[in-house]
Chains A and B, each alone.
Chain A
């Protein structure tokens, strides 16, 4: 009991010191020096292991003395849950977490993220708030099979999805995150009406937009509301599919935050600053196809240039969750009519 208490006490003290030093580092050089002396930077993120390794290899070309290790945490909600459980047990946990706004929001609510140190020098437009850094984006787009859909038939507006010719030939993600964010610019009532119409098209609903894109490639679905980066693997493999951004363009920003209980928060800050640099953003996009909408030079920023982006801000998270729950039900009710 005493040993456990002392262990907890010492871990708490180490965390507090690490947090304090990272928060008060005067410059990037200070952060790098601290990070180099510190422990391995555990980075919890959802990409495949080899993609994570590819990103870290690129980082180590610039910072060879900072050790970063990627730990794949899938399922979105698992990110927050894992860190919370590890923190509650005072066990080793992530120094950097990358995920959706609701996942990192849950960590902010529990004081498990620390403010990003100013010394990291991250541009203000990349900061969602003092804890969250815009790292990449999931951009919702129209996806279609080019063998089954002529170029002039492909959807160019959201209303085009409601064309009767797509009934029984359409698909989307079973989770309506894209529709929920679309409502931020398109309007809540208008989006509700769109989702009801979409559900009336008897869509096939997929667990993730990756298999959705593959099913478009296979011809199981001819048109779909998918995600730009998840359509890239079949496109790169030569599959007959294409994507197009619609206006307004809904997206889910992928955020990163520094975990206050992490063993090397300084290292996390350095790595995070690199991830959102032009070099880091390019490396991240090259490995995962997920690009940063703000950092110039990425494919994603080129795709979105001149478009109206549609996404609820962190302060409007309640709207996002509420509409997503409602639209999930609407889509599910429509999908069942396939039977």
Chain B
């Protein structure tokens, strides 16, 4: 029978990191984070005090800070951005928590299919997702609005995508896969005897969720919340595609403007850096808040050494209604946008779904993709970058989480914050910093190659990886490692035989998440583009900015198919492991 700890208990002592030989990974991870995060941060700070914003230019000024923080528009944009970020975070958490619980902890039917479908939208480049939603919910030409008008005779459009609410809706839906992946390992590792005990005591589903499930999952939910909130502050794709046309600006729109359209002809790196300090400040505050809340890690321990056995919660008569709810989410978040995307990929130009347009159907866009001589190189580059970055992020995240949560290593809080910080640095600044670093570091000639993009992605996605593995690491009781050490196992063997297997669902989730995001990431790849390191999203972006969204949609469709295979294999292996 599993022993599950809900209330604070005397925590088992943390690992003796010096004696167990764990100092090597601690030092290694520390050095890696200094290189990946601190160096770009220093360049960012230097950039913010250079008159031109170029770090190696001469001069010193605080004018960028004065200009940024005394500008009324900045605070107006910050207000808009806060509404957008908080709204989309709450929306994503609500749906993500519900779906993660249904998939991981209940006997809802067709769970494998549901899990796959929740993760699928990750492969869709956000700019294409935003276009799809404009085509669905635009007040003038939106297919859903047209359908509702035809069915119910509405004179005016029911939905208007060009609004803050529309932006929150689409961003929230796009964040659900990430929320699901952060939370699902935590749900999976939760002992069901707690729920059973609550139900035996007469608790209903509401009480069960409020009094048992949510308190146990607080670290994972907080981790997801902080992550989503920062993403909401810095993300540009959806504010750019939906907010910008209607003049709804956010801080990321401002950064885009300063980077790409600044009237001086050069990016205003100085002001962008000064703005990034605002994001970093907010992130550090949230990171400290998270650390404060989770400092008594034993409160959240659910995996002990005494017979942990996951079991599904019986939904009984709610099985199919629960599936119907999940199916409704799929229809909104996956099927409808994907259908539009597929339709667009077979059209010669962007046009709505109609009987007249059926005659225009063509496979030209797909044929162009396969006959493009740069597509093979871009595909090879993207796959290599994604595989390497995903693997490194998954491994380093595990080590970071072990150091932060389980070890007594000095400076572990710094490591925690360092691993999280890149999330708050806009992609354009990470790109800028890496260009300077690798243009000047002669012994690592990776400027213009795919490896500089790999480093950018490792830096950027480590924050997601470490948040995800933190939640699971908090759930693993120290008794397990202590038992292994007592039996004579060293640090490496304990990690290999105890920690890694128990954290495997989270590690796999991180790997798939990073892989999918690497396959679609654009900002850094564009900034770091050289002669031979073009990626698939850069190719897709070329079509998009070159006035060929239909070809971009075709690339998007193939990207989604590729990820479908990855997710399918992942699910197959997961099931085999569970069996």
Q: Specify which chain B residues have a CB less than 8 angstroms from the CB of A334 in the assembled complex.
A: 247
* Residues in A whose Cβ lies below 8 Å from that of B531: 42, 69, 71
* Residue of B with least CB distance to A323: B263
- Interface membership of B264, Cβ < 8 A: yes
Cβ-defined contact, B135 with A85, below 8 A = no
B247 contacts which of A88, A205, A238 (Cβ < 8 Å)? A205
B199 shortest CB reach to chain A, Å? 46
Instruction: Tell me the smallest distance from the CB of B106 to a CB of chain A, in Å.
Output: 40
Question: Once the chains bind, are B267 and A74 in contact (CB under 8 Å)?
Answer: no
**Do B247 and A337 touch across chains, with their CB atoms under 8 A apart?**
yes
Q: What CA separation (Å) do A51 and B546 show in the bound complex?
A: 10
Q: B577 contacts the other chain (Cβ, under 8 Å)?
A: no
Chain A residues near B491 (CB-CB < 8 A) = none
CB of A204 within 8 A of CB of B162, answer yes
> Looking at the complex, which one of A4, A104, A106 makes contact with B442 (CB distance below 8 Å)?
A4
User: At the interface, yes or no: A336 with Cβ under 8 Å from chain B?
Assistant: yes
Chain A contact residues, majority secondary structure: helix
User: Are A218 and B350 in contact, CB atoms less than 8 angstroms apart?
Assistant: yes
Residue pair A84, B54 in contact (C-beta under 8 Å) = yes
CA–CA, A230 and B134, complex, Å: 21
Would you call B318 an interface residue if the criterion is a C-beta within 8 Å of the partner chain's C-beta atoms?
Answer: no
A51 to B373, CA, bound (A): 12
Does A332 have its Cβ within 8 Å of any Cβ on chain B? yes
CB neighbours (8 Å) of A206 from chain B are 244-245
User: Is B439 a contact of A210 with CB atoms below 8 Å?
Assistant: no
User: Which chain B residues numbered 210 to 248 have a C-beta less than 8 Å away from chain A?
Assistant: 240-241, 244-248
Check B545–A233 contact: CB distance below 8 A.
Answer: no
A338 touches B162 (CB 8 A): yes
User: Interface 1/0s, chain B 188-227, versus A by CB < 8 A?
Assistant: 0000000000000000000000000000000000000000
Residues of B near A333 (CB, < 8 A) are 247
The minimal Cβ–Cβ distance linking A181 to chain B, given in whole angstroms, is: 12
Chain A positions within 8 Å of B439 at CB level: 85-86, 88-89, 91
* Residues of B contacting A338 in the complex (Cβ-Cβ under 8 angstroms): 162, 245-247
Residue of B141, B266, B360, B448 near A84 (CB, 8 A) is B266
* A to B contact number (C-beta, < 8 Å): 185
Q: Are A237 and B249 in contact (CB under 8 A)?
A: no
Q: Does B164 contact A (CB under 8 A)?
A: yes
Q: Is the CB of B240 within 8 A of A80?
A: no
Interface contact B248-A339, CB-CB below 8 Å: yes
The CA of A284 and the CA of B374, in the complex, are separated in Å by 19
- A49 partner, pick from B134, B163, B534, B547, beta carbons under 8 A: B534
Chain B interface size band reads 35 or more
In the bound complex, how far is the Cα of B529 from the Cα of A88, in angstroms?
A: 18
Q: From B241, B244, B265, give the contact of A80 (CB < 8 A).
A: B265
Contact, CB under 8 Å: B542 / A72: yes
User: How would residues 47 to 82 of chain A score, 1 for a CB under 8 Å from any chain B CB and 0 otherwise?
Assistant: 111110100000000000000010111111110111
A239 to B548, CA, bound (A): 12
Contact B260 A77 (CB under 8 A): yes
Residue pair A85, B435 in contact (C-beta under 8 Å):
yes
Cβ contacts B362-378/A at 8 Å (1 or 0 each): 00000000001110000
From the candidates B163, B266, B349, name the one contacting A214 in the complex (CB within 8 A): B349
A197 → B minimal CB distance (Å): 16
**8 Å CB contacts to B: which residues of A136-163?**
none
Contacts of B442 in A (CB 8 A): 3-4, 7
Q: When the two chains form their complex, are residues A205 and B260 in contact, meaning their CB atoms are under 8 A apart? A: no
A332 to B, closest residue via Cβ: B247
- Closest residue of chain B to A231, judged by CB? B547
**In the complex the two chains form, what is the Cα distance from A281 to B267 in whole Å?**
30
For A105, list chain B residues within 8 Å (CB): 265
Within 8 A of B (CB), among A308-325: 320-322, 324-325
Say whether A100 faces chain B, with CB atoms less than 8 Å apart: yes
B246 partner, pick from A69, A207, A214, A339, beta carbons under 8 A: A339
Closest chain A CB from B69 CB (angstroms): 19
Determine whether the beta carbon of A91 is less than 8 Å from that of B447. yes
B134 closest partner in A (C-beta): A220
Give complex CA distance A42, B529 in Å: 14
With A and B bound together, what is the CA distance between A331 and B530 in angstroms?
Answer: 35
A171 to B245, CA, bound (A): 8
Query: Which of B138, B140, B262, B432 has the largest number of chain A CB atoms within 10 A?
Result: B140
**When A81-B267, A214-B350, A218-B350 are in contact, do A75 and B526 touch as well, CB less than 8 Å?**
yes
Evaluate contact between B543 and A77: CB separation under 8 angstroms: no
A48 touching B261 in the complex, CB below 8 Å, given contacts A218-B141, A339-B248 = no
* Interface residue B25 (Cβ < 8 Å from any Cβ of A): no
Is B440 located at the chain interface by the 8 A CB criterion? yes
Binary interface encoding of chain B residues 428-445 relative to chain A, with 1 for a CB under 8 A from any of its CBs, else 0: 000010011001101000
State whether the Cβ of A234 lies closer than 8 Å to any Cβ in chain B.
Answer: yes
Task: Mark contacts of B528-571 with chain A using CB atoms, 8 A cut-off: 1 yes-contact digit, 0 otherwise.
Answer: 01110010001101111111111000000000000000000000
**Closest approach, in angstroms, between the C-beta of B275 and any C-beta of chain A?**
16
- Minimum CB distance partner of B431 in chain A: A78
Whole-angstrom CA separation of A171 from B435 in the bound complex = 37
**Pairs A–B under 8 Å by Cβ, sample size 10:** A3-B442, A7-B442, A78-B260, A78-B267, A84-B54, A171-B245, A214-B547, A335-B246, A336-B247, A339-B246
Task: Please list the 10 inter-chain residue pairs (A to B) with the smallest Cβ-Cβ separation, ordered nearest first.
Answer: A335-B247, A102-B265, A336-B247, A89-B439, A233-B547, A210-B547, A321-B263, A239-B349, A237-B348, A48-B542
15 other contacts beyond A72-B529, A336-B249, A337-B247, with CB at 8 A cut-off? A48-B542, A49-B542, A74-B545, A91-B447, A204-B246, A205-B246, A207-B240, A211-B547, A214-B349, A214-B350, A220-B138, A230-B547, A238-B360, A239-B351, A335-B247
